[in-house]
Amino acid sequence: MGTAGPPVSSGSCYPGPGGRARGVTRGTIGGRPVRRSRSAPSESLETSVSPLPTRLHVPGPTPLPDAVREAGARQMVNHRGPEFKAVLGRVTAGLGRAFRTQDPILVLTASGTGGLEAAVVNHLSPGDPVLAVTIGAFGDRFAKIATAYGADVTRLAVEWGRAAEPGDVATAAREMTARGRAPVAVLLTHNETSTGVTNPIEELAAAARAVAPDVLVIVDAISGLGAVPFETDAWGLDVVVTGSQKSWMVPPGLAMVSVSERAWAAAERATMPRFYFDLAAHRTSAATGETPWTPAVGVCFALDVAIGLLEAEGYEAIFARHRACGAAVRAGLRALGFALFADPAHASDTVTAAYVPDGLEWSALNGALKARGLILAGGQGKLAGRILRLGHLGAVTVNDVLAALALIEDALIALGLPPADRGAALVEALRAADASVQVPAGSGV
């Protein structure tokens, strides 16, 4: 597993999906020895495919299990033929089980942002009053998409690092209604990766509906669905969007969207322009096992295999594994002296944000981490240079988290900021993981 990490438990209560997803042996690519040309400098190789072992801990793209990576390298098939029809059928059925919905799932060849654009343009008309609840950079992006297409957007902007309050959502919807502009739709972010906060979507949706019973609830679930509990139908969500490169352990390239009957009815009235992202065209093609445009066939192959791995593990086990990883990261970073950014009551189990220590530049810390093969994300927007973000979603286990924490500790020591008690972060992380799954301290997690 990549670089030599700290002593960790020999077993794992939540070992995660099958296959090796982390770094490879030093001096190899995919486990094979690297052959260097005498005339070519080593730097030229490292700028294309690094031979160094790496641990990718950004909040997407996430590491790929071997079986998923190999599936994506399969030979192409006719995307209008029976082979792809079978793949698409398995993928959409599996996604329906993960989304917890009876609504159809549509697979778009696009990033998650493309899925959000599709969610907006298919269900709204220019001038429609929309309530955008934003708790970070990606909530802001969702609101910008609606504004760009002419929606009349009212923003409920929450302090970054905090989750939205149901009472505030209800108040905002009530004020819009009092102005004669009752919201046609509410835009919600499930898991805000720029701040490491998870919104209470069930409560927020209910609060909006209590004021505007017919409001469309449109949810960006890109970085949470598949890793933490989520109930599309039970929570009354109309449009839900996720992306392949997050919890699904698949390369970027697919946006997956569920659409309720209420949303389909709204789509018939909506007049925002759309062509590539016309969900009605996708629904028509899906009925015959196809997509309206050429799909990312290789990514669909990978997603097919990834869903099989996830279902073999079981979603309850997946949720517990991510809960343990989130608890471990938060405890470990605190023990290393980091101040966490998110409200603890709504801290994400897929990504953790922490302030860069005083007296240390993010660029210096990031450089030290990269030199040790650890890839983290920095802050976005107004948090650029102020925070780091450690992703722990997809094919990740607590042992991966412990190794990442050990590398962070080593970098801090090299930068002259050693923790008070070397190794304590790993102990605290493992204790927190154990407590999160309610097993005796010291058990392997």
Burial letters 97-132, b for 16+ CB under 10 A, else e: ebbbbebbbbbbbbbbbbbbbbbbbbbbeeebbbbb
Report, as ranges of residue numbers, the positions in the chain whose pLDDT lies below 50: 1-14, 23-48, 439-445
187, 124 in Cβ contact below 8 A?
Answer: no
The amino acid at 227: A
Position 18 scores a pLDDT of 63
Long-range contacts of 286-289 (CB under 8 A, 24+ apart): 286/88, 286/92, 286/104, 286/106, 288/85, 289/84, 289/85, 289/86, 289/88, 289/89
| Average pLDDT value for the chain | 90
Q: What is the 3-state secondary structure (H, E, C) of 182-240?
A: CCCEEEEECEECCCCEECCHHHHHHHHHHHCCCCEEEEECCCCECCECCCCCCCCCCEE
199 vs 17: CA distance, rounded Å: 26
Radius of gyration for the chain, computed over Cα atoms and rounded to the nearest angstrom: 22
Position 11 scores a pLDDT of 40
Give CA torsion, residues 115, 223, 138, 104, to 10 deg: 30
Position 53 scores a pLDDT of 74
Give CA torsion, residues 87, 218, 109, 255, to 10 deg: -60
Tokens of 18: 């099958």
The amino acid at 228: V
318: three-class secondary structure by DSSP: helix
Can you list the domains of the chain with their CATH numbers? 70-310 (3.40.640.10), 314-436 (3.90.1150.10)
Position 215 scores a pLDDT of 98
Position 51 scores a pLDDT of 58
Tokens of 428: 């605290």
* Residue range 295-304, pLDDT digits in tens: 999 999 999 9
